[in-house]
Homo-oligomer: A and B are copies of this chain.
Amino acid sequence: MTPTPFAQRLTERSLTLGTRLCLGLDPRLDAYESRDALRQHTLAVLDGCAPYAACVKPQFAFYEALGLWGMQLLEDLCAAARSLDLPIILDGKRGDIGSTAAAYAQAWLMGDHAGDALTVNPFLGAETLTPFVEAAQANGGAVFVLVKTSNPGQADFQGEGVSERVAQVVARLGQDEVERSGSELSSVGAVVGATHPQELAQWRAAMPHALLLLPGLGAQGAKAADLAAAFLPDGTGAVVSASRGIQYAHALDVDAAGAAAKSFRDELNAALKL
């Protein structure tokens, strides 16, 4: 049986629940009294925020920083997200060449402990994205290629046309699939910082069939009202991530985290006039 493509699952959930929020879960040990507290709170935030989230995005770095115990937590978190029907974007920004890229794809897009989607770093070249894209397409998953990141220093090595060339590759890698399937959205998405609002229309046009993952709202200074251009006319085609502002709302109160997620969802919908 062909698995339902990631973009379709994400879009259906987004429309059913009326949300474009990508819930980031980045457990920082220094915010908690103990590992147990971190574990319980992170899983409770997932549970409490799920009704307001189109998908969940654990950031690998914070789980890796917790050692094997953290990687076990990531597995448990993914299992919990699956039981909530919440699509999982693993934010690992992986990237390597040849059979090494294939091993990363095996690890995170195909295995028992895989997510649904993975963020990937294109620095090593267009060819190095192929193993990720093939694994995603075969398994109803997705990749989100870094096109233009949200941080001030992105221009150092993404400037002078680099991001534009990555965007062309993203569009090309998804093209066959949308022609074959007739879907609006492919398995090859892109990360574009919400901190570049004046460029979002350009990126949307350059990658017409890519799901866009937009980080940088809130802590990094972008405003919801600026993001409409990243979406398709029906309010699909993109999700906006929020992490700290939700997980760490009001001194680790889980109800406050849920309220922050709901408010984030509503703010996005209002800005998009949905």
Chain B residues with Cβ below 8 Å from A59 are 96, 100, 103
Chain B residues with Cβ below 8 Å from A103 are 26, 28, 59, 61-62, 64-65
Chain B residues with Cβ below 8 Å from A161 are 160
Establish whether residues B162 and A149, one from each chain, have CB atoms under 8 Å apart when the complex forms. no
Chain B residues with Cβ below 8 Å from A62 are 100, 103
Closest to A119 in B: B96
Neighbour of A68 across the interface among B75, B93, B108, B154, CB < 8 A:
B75
Establish whether residues B61 and A112, one from each chain, have CB atoms under 8 Å apart when the complex forms. no
Neighbour of A123 across the interface among B97, B112, B146, B169, CB < 8 A:
B146
Question: What is the CB-to-nearest-CB distance from A29 to chain B, in angstroms, rounded to a whole number?
Answer: 9
Question: What is the CB-to-nearest-CB distance from A193 to chain B, in angstroms, rounded to a whole number?
Answer: 10
The answer to whether residues A151 and B127 also contact, given A68-B72, A100-B59 and a CB cut-off of 8 A, is yes
What mask results when residues 12 to 43 of chain A are scored 1 for a CB within 8 Å of chain B, else 0? 00000000000000101000000000000000
What mask results when residues 136 to 174 of chain A are scored 1 for a CB within 8 Å of chain B, else 0? 000000000010011111111110111001100100000
Chain B residues with Cβ below 8 Å from A72 are 68
Within 8 A of B (CB), among A103-118: 103-104, 106-108, 111-113
Chain B residues with Cβ below 8 Å from A125 are 149, 151-158
Chain B residues with Cβ below 8 Å from A98 are 151
What mask results when residues 44 to 72 of chain A are scored 1 for a CB within 8 Å of chain B, else 0? 00000000000000010110111110011
A121 at the interface (CB under 8 A from B): yes
Neighbour of A107 across the interface among B61, B106, B155, B160, CB < 8 A:
B61
A122 at the interface (CB under 8 A from B): yes
Bound form: Cα–Cα A183–B22 in Å:
47
Chain B residues with Cβ below 8 Å from A95 are 93, 121
Within 8 A of B (CB), among A209-260: none
A128 at the interface (CB under 8 A from B): yes
The answer to whether residues A150 and B97 also contact, given A61-B104, A162-B162 and a CB cut-off of 8 A, is yes
Establish whether residues A152 and B127, one from each chain, have CB atoms under 8 Å apart when the complex forms. yes
Q: Provide a sorted-by-A list of 9 A–B residue pairs whose CB atoms are within 8 angstroms.
A: A62-B100, A64-B107, A64-B108, A68-B72, A93-B124, A123-B149, A125-B149, A127-B156, A160-B162
